[in-house]
C-alpha cells in the first residue's frame, strides 16, 4: 500500500483510539546525571511470569535516548488529581523542570519515582524492539509501591477524565433519556 492510500486508515484508527479509555502514566528514568519523564498511555502489563510490563516510546521523545542506552525505568500510574503532572510531562514543561511539581523520590535502585502516584512500578529494562516510529521497551519488575484508594486519571476522546466523572456523566445522560422518553 502507498503512503497516500494509508491516510484514510490512519484517520479511522485515530477516531477509533479516541474510544479506547486508558489510564495515564508518567514514565521516569535517569542516566546517572539527569532525570527524564514523559506522560504515556501506551503501557500495559506483559506477564506475571515473570512480572513484567511494556511501554511504547516514540523515538523522537526526550526520554528515548536514556532508555535506548539501557536505563531502568518506573511506570507511575497517575491518580485522578494529578492531571497537572500529566500535562507538565507531555510538553508544558521540559527536562528537569518536569520534576518541579510532585514529590519525586529515588527507588533503592536509583530510579526516580513519583511518590503519591496510584502505583509506582520500578522496572529493570529487559528487552526492546523497534516498530515504526516507536520502540517497545520491556521492563522486568523490581519493586511495586501502592498509594491511596483506586482512583486513576483516565484519558479518553482526547481529554482527561476520572472514573467518578465518567460515571456521573453516564448517569446524567441516562436520567436525561428517561426524562424525554
Ligand X SMILES: Cc1cc2nc3c(=O)[nH]c(=O)nc-3n(C[C@H](O)[C@H](O)[C@H](O)COP(=O)(O)O)c2cc1C
Site of interaction with ligand X (CB under 6 A): 24, 38-42, 56-58, 61-63, 90-91, 155
- Residue 34 or 115: the one with the smaller Cβ distance to ligand X is 34
- Residue 20 or 174: the one with the smaller Cβ distance to ligand X is 20
Residue 158's Cβ-count burial label (10 Å; 0-12, 13-18, 19+) is exposed
Judge whether 39 and 89 are in contact, CB under 8 Å.
yes
Closest CB 55 distance from ligand X, rounded Å: 7
- Residue 91 or 164: the one with the smaller Cβ distance to ligand X is 91
- Residue 63 or 122: the one with the smaller Cβ distance to ligand X is 63
Closest CB 40 distance from ligand X, rounded Å: 3
Judge whether 24 and 154 are in contact, CB under 8 Å.
yes
Closest CB 75 distance from ligand X, rounded Å: 11
Closest CB 27 distance from ligand X, rounded Å: 8
- Residue 63 or 119: the one with the smaller Cβ distance to ligand X is 63
Judge whether 78 and 128 are in contact, CB under 8 Å.
no
Closest CB 161 distance from ligand X, rounded Å: 11
Compute how many other C-beta atoms are within 10 angstroms of the C-beta atom of residue 129.
10
CA–CA separation, 172 and 90 (whole Å): 31
Residue 128's Cβ-count burial label (10 Å; 0-12, 13-18, 19+) is middle
Q: Where is 47: in which H helix or E strand?
A: strand 43-48
CA–CA separation, 70 and 32 (whole Å): 11
Amino acid at each position: 500500500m502507498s503512503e497516500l492510500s494509508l491516510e484514510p486508515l490512519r484517520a479511522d484508527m485515530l477516531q477509533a483510539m479516541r474510544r479506547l479509555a486508558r489510564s495515564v502514566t508518567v514514565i521516569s528514568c535517569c542516566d546517572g546525571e539527569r532525570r527524564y519523564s514523559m506522560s504515556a498511555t501506551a503501557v500495559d502489563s506483559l506477564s506475571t511470569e515473570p512480572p513484567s510490563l511494556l511501554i511504547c516510546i516514540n523515538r523522537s521523545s526526550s526520554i528515548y535516548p536514556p532508555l535506548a542506552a539501557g536505563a531502568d525505568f518506573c511506570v507511575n500510574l497517575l491518580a485522578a488529581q494529578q492531571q497537572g503532572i500529566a500535562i507538565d510531562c507531555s510538553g508544558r514543561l521540559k527536562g528537569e523542570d518536569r520534576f518541579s511539581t510532585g514529590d519525586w523520590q529515588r527507588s533503592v535502585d536509583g530510579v526516580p519515582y513519583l511518590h503519591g502516584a496510584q502505583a509506582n512500578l520500578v522496572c529493570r529494562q529487559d528487552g526492546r524492539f523497534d516498530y515504526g516510529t516507536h520502540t517497545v521497551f520491556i521492563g522486568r519488575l523490581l519493586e511495586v509501591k501502592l498509594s491511596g484508594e483506586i482512583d486513576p486519571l483516565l484519558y479518553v476522546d482526547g481529554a482527561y477524565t476520572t472514573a467518578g466523572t465518567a460515571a456521573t456523566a453516564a448517569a446524567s445522560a441516562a436520567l436525561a433519556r428517561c426524562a424525554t422518553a
